Amino acid sequence: MNPLAIGAFSLAAAVALGAFGAHGLKNHLDAYLMGIWEKAVFYHFVHSFGLLAAGLAIRTGCLEPLAGTRVSWLLLAGIILFSGSLYALALTRVTVLGAITPLGGLSFIAAWVWMGAGFLRQIP
């Protein structure tokens, strides 16, 4: 896995999805569903930057490669599960998709805890 490249491409997707929501969906979604879309975009952005941070931490030696790879996979899984389920929910109005969202949140939490623990292990 190359978290720097994946993070950069994920950021590009977040910009595109944000723009799509702002311009393409504004007349198709009510305020509640637009709020869901915007929350998906926000978490997509934040955790894409997390992928960049993990990649940079690996390259600078602040995070062991194995730990950084695991963090990166958890962040990517979180983006797909959390943001992806919210995007799908907003577009389809299928509320059962909201049951997937917490799994993405758990992936995000696990990634940040793993990253923090990895940074602690690197302290001389």
If pLDDT is split at 50, 70 and 90, which confidence band does 122 have? confident
If pLDDT is split at 50, 70 and 90, which confidence band does 26 have? confident
> What are the pLDDT digits (tens) for 6-25?
999 999 999 999 999 999 99
User: Is 90 exceeded by the pLDDT of residue 123?
Assistant: no
Q: Which residue has the higher pLDDT, 124 or 35?
A: 35
Place of tokens 């934040």: 46
**Cα first-last separation, the chain:** 27
Answer whether 0.85 is exceeded by the pTM: yes
> What are the pLDDT digits (tens) for 50-83?
999 999 999 999 999 999 999 999 999 999 999 9
Measured in whole angstroms, the distance separating CA 47 from the mean position of its chain's CA atoms is: 4
* Closest CA relative to residue 81, chosen from 58, 97, 93: 97
